Structure 1
């Protein structure tokens, strides 16, 4: 991890390279992956995120692609990316600053309606034009023709293999995969955020829903709903409005833990054994 002085020098170089005259720059926090700063110029404010270019190659390029794909759908606000690049061993992404506001009374209905509209954005196949990241882990997006094939081969298999390589005894997933084929609805690919926990949405300065930090793909749409319900933080009215505008197939609640399995495997592989019992419970349920 670089020191604050190192980051300050890097940010000054990035600003100069993008013809930005910096008035102030202050840290907004960060974690093991990124360090986040609010950059204020004479005319505007920006968010700049830094990470180690050698540890997370292509991460910000993937984030840019994901945000641009969400933006192109034209149904929900995302921050505009100004520039992605490298400077002094650090990768960076420079983007629009969104000043968070208090949610208006109709925020949840807007969010549910816009998420439904996003999920109606479709593609020929499941997958995405490039691989990306889920948290700090690589996420594969190879093209698949069915929802079950995509979820098994591009989501569950890589994470289960990684978990086993880390010493977690998760048993034989063959029965799980067979049940995936039986349970997963045969719906068209949907444009999903891909990592939609409560920390990855915000209220824009005009009270509109905004999505940040995506792990985009064309995937089974219920994956977003499963993640939203995993850790909470979403108003019930969001889900009710979503159902009004894009009803899910019968049996959604039975499938929710199946979708949550992917995200719990990711947490197991990033954060360790604290998530193993939840993973094992879901594996047993669907095996």
Structure 2
């Protein structure tokens, strides 16, 4: 039995409706997984594939999508099932046809993201570890945000960088920065439900102009960490930020914390890709330490 027949059978079992797809249609856009569209005359599904050993990554993604959907805020593709076949793991989810965005659609995205962030927990973390890109992302529950960010975000990435041989200078700066976290994280955030990997490539708009987010790295954290990432690579626009801040303004001091939050993603890129990201991470740490004169 081919992997496609196995997946079709799984879809049929989950939906209670026979699913007899034609040839899979390859979809671009991802650098970690293979993505395809599977469809017959009545149903259409989005399928991602990876090595069988990465099944837990897809299981965590499905849990994250369900949590985000439960916030009843910004739309996400609903997951159907996960599994393994022919040495590969897979996740099947709702296929959403994407169209063009607009200024009003971007404003809706900002408003709905603020609504999602009002879904909160009693501590920082999540129900299980997941992945950020291809890197493991620890999510052990922690009542203190500074401890969580220092140990499970920056500290974890710095340990990964040391294991990857990414330079003594990076580690020296990192040690100083970890000690400075209490001075830099000088506010009291609430544990908000975050997408966790919200860059421009993970936001789209359906054919009715409704915002859609996908490929999450979900956890409960400071909502500013989410907004910071939207600014890291651009693509969200002034209407998005105006609508978000109208719905829930950011706290004073965000501009400094933004650099600290985006450092996590740059360190992750350094660990995955190396190159100029190592130098960028060092410059960001020097900037933050310079603001504290350390």
Query: Which residue is equivalent to 1:219?
Result: 221
**In structure 2, C-alpha distance between the alignment counterparts of 1:278 and 1:177, rounded to whole Å:** 17
CA RMSD across the alignment: 1.5
Query: Which residue is equivalent to 2:188?
Result: 186
Number of aligned pairs? Answer: 279
Three-state SS of the structure 1 residue aligned to 2:81 is: strand
Query: Which residue is equivalent to 2:33?
Result: 34
Give runs of aligned pairs for residues 57-136 of structure 1, distance below 5 A.
Answer: 57-136=55-134
1:257 aligns with 2:255: no
Query: Which residue is equivalent to 1:13?
Result: 6
Query: Which residue is equivalent to 1:4?
Result: none
Please, what TM-score do these two structures have when normalized by structure 1?
0.93
1:152 aligns with 2:150: yes
Query: Which residue is equivalent to 2:276?
Result: 274
Query: Which residue is equivalent to 2:15?
Result: none
**In structure 1, C-alpha distance between the alignment counterparts of 2:237 and 2:112, rounded to whole Å:** 14
Gap runs ≥5 in structure 2: 13-18, 290-294
**Alpha-carbon deviations, 1:215-253, whole Å to 9, x = none?**
000011111111111111111111111111111111212
Q: Which moved more, 1:253-262 or 1:99-108?
A: 99-108
Three-state SS of the structure 1 residue aligned to 2:197 is: coil
Three-state SS of the structure 2 residue aligned to 1:125 is: coil
Gap runs ≥5 in structure 1: 1-7
**In structure 2, C-alpha distance between the alignment counterparts of 1:272 and 1:204, rounded to whole Å:** 35
Query: Which residue is equivalent to 1:243?
Result: 245
Give runs of aligned pairs for residues 196-207 of structure 1, distance below 5 A.
Answer: 196-207=198-209
Label 1:193 to 1:31 Cα distance change in 2 as closer, same or farther (>3 A): closer
**In structure 2, C-alpha distance between the alignment counterparts of 1:30 and 1:113, rounded to whole Å:** 26
Three-state SS of the structure 2 residue aligned to 1:95 is: strand
**Alpha-carbon deviations, 1:1-60, whole Å to 9, x = none?**
xxxxxxx93112211333211134210036552100011112121101110012x24010
Three-state SS of the structure 2 residue aligned to 1:153 is: helix
Preserved contact between residue 49 and residue 93 of structure 1 (Cα < 8 Å): yes
Which of the pair is proportionally richer in helix? Answer: 2
**Alpha-carbon deviations, 1:116-157, whole Å to 9, x = none?**
111111100000010000010110001111221111111111
Please, what TM-score do these two structures have when normalized by structure 2?
0.91
Query: Which residue is equivalent to 1:171?
Result: 171
Shift of 1:160: 0.5
Three-state SS of the structure 1 residue aligned to 2:111 is: helix
Shift of 1:177: 2.1
Label 1:137 to 1:189 Cα distance change in 2 as closer, same or farther (>3 A): same
